[in-house]
Copies of this chain bind each other. A is one copy, B any other.
Amino acid sequence: MSSAFQPVTPEITAQLEQIVGRAAVSTAQAERDLRARDQSFHPAHAADVIVWPQTAQQVAEVLKLANDHCIPVTPWGVGTGLEGNSIALFGGIQLSLERMDAIVEVHADDFQVTVQPGIGHKDLNAALARTGLFFPPDPGANASIGGMLANNAAGIRTVKYGASKDNVLRMQVALADGRLIDVGSRSVKQASGYDLLHLFVGSEGTLGVITEATLKLVPVPAHMSAATAAFPTVESAVEAVVAIRGSGLDPAALEFMDAAHTKMLREAEGVDLQDYPTLFMEFHTAHEEALALGIETIREICEELGAVHFRATTDTAERKQLWHARHHSYEIMVRSHPDKQFYIMDVAVPISTYPELIRYVETLKQERNRTVYLLGHAGDGNIHVEFPFADDAEYVHVKEMDSAIVLKALELGGTATGEHGVGIGKARYMAQEHGAGLDVMRAIKATLDPNGILNPGKIFADA
């Protein structure tokens, strides 16, 4: 498709200015460079022009103009992507949603909020604090809601509250040809026609641009507890994950950290962890009494499955301290390897195969004689492998290991990406993961974006 793309001429720039206003179009090198890369190691590529629409109608008109002239359009949120999802690989227009960051309406009785796509989820939750409600998905960085929906971002609390796809009810989407459509419904139940909502969620801006979204909110939990448990083996830790999920206690977080990682945290900053595979847990309940009962059940489960160490608390300060190592593990890791960069990869598998995946990573690590840290959302079967590397030669090694781990995850019935999305980096695995399903995705892409202007080079390896 790319061969047919047309350049952004001064005439096009003038027309863009007509649509969004002169102050909302820039060809300045600094603005283009600022949005030329995300938080991954995918090579930077600057767009030809940055456009900041302020309304859905403007987004639609920009798309129509681009489509009529076969100019690529890459949506941009805030640049926290981890797979090059927002890099303007083929130049053209970078459509920044940064100025569409309003809360349109809080529907408190419906446990919903309607927002523009550019608002950060942390900013949204800060603004919602007075309502006693919050939007649960939290990928860590202050990603924009539009970016989170476009990539189906998830994070630590997915095991209880679901990923972005589970926390959205309705969206307005601008299509390549300039139509604006509404998908989903503010009714939490809907059995009315095709589920276009979930077709656009996770489509990474390749089918349309999200211009507004109505999100599900949940009550801020009245009481929270936390626990950590160290296990002699990965297998026993995963047995505990299964038993905890089976207990009906509905953990709000169920995180795994391997022994290499806990050791590094302890040695680097004296974090109170043992050199064993460790689970980090959080529980949310409506009653404090229920919290204490839950903790006792969890302790019994962990001890029965051979836990060598168990700590739990319902105290807020102690809970934060207990989770400190998990929440700051990335910073501590970076500080403890001042001469290294970090490549982080993301796969997910059925939980029953989690030990096998981790054993495979261990074997690879020994064969290659490399330092590797494992950190994962175990409750979801999601794992992030973190590779320190110093130079290009080491990076090549890391990428080879990355590829081997993705293929292993697929072999185990898993997915090439649990929460980072496909972007550039995972496109090469799509045929293997989806088989003929990938042809169906291509057919839908061709139907909705026949000129292939929307975020080209993403998801589909040959686009």
Taking Cβ atoms with an 8 Å cutoff, the residues of A that contact B are 107, 109-112, 132-133, 151-154, 158, 163, 165-166, 175, 179-183, 185-199, 201-203, 207, 219, 221-222, 242, 245-250, 284-287, 289-290, 293-294, 297, 348-352, 377, 380-382, 413-422, 426, 429-430, 433-441, 443-444, 446-448, 459
Contact = CB atoms under 8 A, between A and B. Distances in A.
Nearest to A198: B198
26 contacts: A107-B352, A111-B246, A181-B437, A182-B435, A182-B437, A185-B413, A185-B414, A187-B349, A189-B348, A189-B380, A190-B415, A191-B415, A192-B417, A192-B426, A193-B422, A193-B434, A193-B437, A193-B459, A194-B202, A194-B203, A195-B203, A219-B248, A249-B286, A286-B293, A289-B293, A446-B447
From A109, A419, A433, A440, name the one whose CB has the most chain B CB atoms within 10 angstroms: A440
Nearest to A289: B293
B286 A289 contact: no
Contacts of A441: 193-194, 196
Contacts of A417: 190-192
Copy total for this chain:
2
Given A248-B221, A287-B297, A440-B175, A382 B196 contact: no
B188 A348 contact: yes
Contacts of A415: 185, 187, 189-192
A186 B410 CA distance: 10
A246 B422 contact: no
A418 B112 CA distance: 18
Given A191-B420, A286-B249, A438-B193, A112 B350 contact: yes
A246 B134 CA distance: 11
Given A193-B438, A199-B195, A440-B196, A352 B110 contact: yes
Contacts of A351: 109-110, 188
A187 B381 contact: yes
Contacts of A110: 350-352
A202 B195 contact: yes
From A112, A185, A381, A435, name the one whose CB has the most chain B CB atoms within 10 angstroms: A185
B109 A352 contact: yes
A26 B441 CA distance: 36
A165 to B, nearest CB: 7
Contacts of A185: 348, 413-415, 433
A82 to B, nearest CB: 10
Contact of A198 (B151, B195, B382, B418): B195
Contact of A192 (B194, B416, B448): B416
Contacts of A189: 154, 158, 163, 348, 377, 380-382, 415, 418-419
A191 B384 CA distance: 14
Nearest to A249: B286
Contacts of A414: 185-187
B287 A192 contact: no
Nearest to A413: B186
Contact of A183 (B202, B246, B426, B437): B437
